[in-house]
């Protein structure tokens, strides 16, 4: 599929407590997009911010109603839900996601568009000289590795939100009913000709990251359980091996006692222990199998609308 270079563009930006970053974002982003000389829109989703973000977004809408749209959530549903809400409403044929804190420089957008114009339907950015804490950088390298092993998703940098998608990929994500919240991975699974491009990474312009250590663990657990049942399958396999091993142990003890006439004194205790271990591992297999079903059910049940839109500011398109 080749994409004409002038298709209308939608830029999607989740916003959570970014009052200190929005003014700079506006002054850097709009000129970049104006200079492209193509039709565009910017959709901001206010993800239940507690600061003045929504006032700033409303003022920006008043200033540039032609290209600005604002979705206002009633509460905080998380970055990926904020992006989903915008995806459901995009009007452009090429969609770009971007963070509001200027860690993804808006000036890099044309790089992604070049790849889209070259016929790719999904372009993932990966961060060159990442500007995050030592801990964040290495934790994210580790989780990239685990993801590669447990799911079939190949991404250099799953945490980079500067990405471009064709409308087909976005439509597929929306149709999937938001079962999985990890958008870069979901997009990857729907893309037929993905590409990656290195993009600059800057320090957070102002404020601190919205992700606590716990939130990061949750997000990555969601990613791995959302895209594969591998953890459950490994667990069941492990339990199966344990029960085989303990069964062999019981046989060995019986042989020693009755065939070789050994262990006369200690037989009772050890046999009991072996039987307990065996039963325990059988129970573990059971839990693993139940877990497998729960996991599958969970994947289906999660297909529910997970946010509530309070207000939308937009002009008819």
Considering beta carbons, is residue 79 or 166 the nearer one to ligand UDP?
Answer: 79
| CB of residue 307 to ligand UDP, shortest distance in Å | 11
Contacting residues for 46 by C-beta, under 8 A, at least 6 apart: 15, 16, 53, 54, 57, 70, 71, 72, 73, 82
In 3D space, the residue among 21, 49, 50, 31 whose CA is nearest the CA of residue 106 turns out to be 31
In 3D space, the residue among 235, 238, 236, 249 whose CA is nearest the CA of residue 278 turns out to be 249
Considering beta carbons, is residue 218 or 296 the nearer one to ligand UDP?
Answer: 218
Considering beta carbons, is residue 185 or 253 the nearer one to ligand UDP?
Answer: 185
Q: Which does 152 bind (CB under 5 to 8 A by kind): Mg ion, ligand UDP, none?
A: none
Strands (E), the chain: 9-15, 40-46, 68-73, 94-97, 122-127, 163-166, 194-199, 309-313
Q: Which does 210 bind (CB under 5 to 8 A by kind): Mg ion, ligand UDP, none?
A: ligand UDP
SS3 154: coil
| CB of residue 36 to Mg ion, shortest distance in Å | 24
The residue whose two tokens read 């222990």 is 273
Q: Which does 40 bind (CB under 5 to 8 A by kind): ligand UDP, Mg ion, none?
A: none
Residues that bind ligand UDP (CB under 6 A): 14-16, 18, 47, 76, 78-79, 82, 99-101, 103, 209-211
> By CB under 5 A, how many residues form the interface with Mg ion?
3
Considering beta carbons, is residue 47 or 121 the nearer one to ligand UDP?
Answer: 47
Q: Which does 211 bind (CB under 5 to 8 A by kind): ligand UDP, Mg ion, none?
A: ligand UDP
Q: Which does 156 bind (CB under 5 to 8 A by kind): ligand UDP, Mg ion, none?
A: none
Answer yes or no whether residue 140 interacts with Mg ion by CB under 5 A.
Answer: no
Q: How many CB atoms neighbour CB 188 within 10 A? A: 21
| CB of residue 252 to Mg ion, shortest distance in Å | 57
In 3D space, the residue among 216, 226, 219 whose CA is nearest the CA of residue 151 turns out to be 226
The Cα 275–Cα 242 span in angstroms is 12
| CB of residue 249 to ligand UDP, shortest distance in Å | 48
The residue whose two tokens read 């911010």 is 49
| CB of residue 238 to ligand UDP, shortest distance in Å | 33
| CB of residue 79 to ligand UDP, shortest distance in Å | 4
The Cα 224–Cα 209 span in angstroms is 22
Q: What DSSP string runs through 32-83? A: HHHHHTS-EEEEEEE-S-SSSHHHHHHHHHHH-TTTEEEEEESS---HHHHH
Per-residue string for binding with Mg ion, 54-93, x by CB under 5 A? ----------------------------------------
Contacting residues for 191 by C-beta, under 8 A, at least 6 apart: 121, 122, 165, 169
Q: Which does 182 bind (CB under 5 to 8 A by kind): ligand UDP, Mg ion, none?
A: none
In 3D space, the residue among 98, 91, 97 whose CA is nearest the CA of residue 41 turns out to be 91
Q: Which does 72 bind (CB under 5 to 8 A by kind): ligand UDP, Mg ion, none?
A: none
Interface of this chain with Mg ion, residues 89 to 108, rule: CB under 5 A: 99, 101, 103
| CB of residue 78 to Mg ion, shortest distance in Å | 14
| CB of residue 209 to Mg ion, shortest distance in Å | 6
In the chain, the N- to C-terminal Cα span, in Å, equals 26
Q: Where does this chain bind Mg ion (CB under 5 A)?
A: 99, 101, 103
């Amino acid at each position: 599929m080749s994409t004409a270079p002038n298709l209308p563009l939608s830029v999607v930006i989740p916003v959570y407590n970014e009052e200190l970053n929005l003014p700079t974002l506006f002054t850097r982003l709009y000129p970049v997009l104006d200079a492209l000389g193509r039709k565009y829109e910017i959709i901001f989703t206010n993800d239940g911010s507690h600061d003045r973000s929504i006032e700033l977004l409303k003022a920006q809408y008043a200033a540039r109603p032609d290209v600005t749209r604002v979705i206002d959530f009633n509460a905080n549903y998380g970055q990926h839900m904020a992006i989903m809400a915008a995806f459901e409403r995009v009007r452009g044929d090429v969609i770009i996601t971007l963070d509001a804190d200027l860690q993804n420089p808006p000036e890099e957008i044309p790089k992604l568009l070049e790849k889209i114009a070259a016929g790719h339907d999904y372009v993932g950015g990966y961060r060159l000289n990442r500007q995050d804490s030592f801990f964040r950088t290495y934790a994210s390298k580790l989780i990239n590795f685990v993801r590669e092993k447990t799911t079939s998703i190949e991404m250099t940098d799953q945490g980079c939100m500067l990405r471009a998608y064709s409308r087909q990929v976005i439509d597929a994500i929306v149709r999937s009913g938001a079962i999985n919240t990890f958008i870069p991975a979901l997009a990857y699974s729907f893309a037929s000709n993905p590409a990656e491009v290195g993009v600059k990474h800057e320090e957070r312009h102002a404020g601190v990251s919205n992700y606590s250590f716990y939130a990061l663990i949750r997000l990555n657990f969601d990613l791995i359980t959302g895209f594969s049942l591998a953890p459950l399958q490994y667990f069941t396999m492990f339990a199966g091996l344990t029960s085989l091993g303990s069964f062999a142990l019981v046989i060995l003890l019986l042989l020693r006692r009755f065939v070789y006439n050994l262990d006369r004194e200690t037989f009772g205790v050890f046999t009991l222990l072996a039987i307990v271990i065996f039963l325990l591992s059988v129970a573990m297999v059971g839990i693993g199998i139940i877990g497998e079903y729960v996991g599958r059910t969970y994947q289906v049940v999660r297909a529910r609308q997970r946010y509530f839109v309070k207000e939308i500011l937009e002009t008819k398109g």
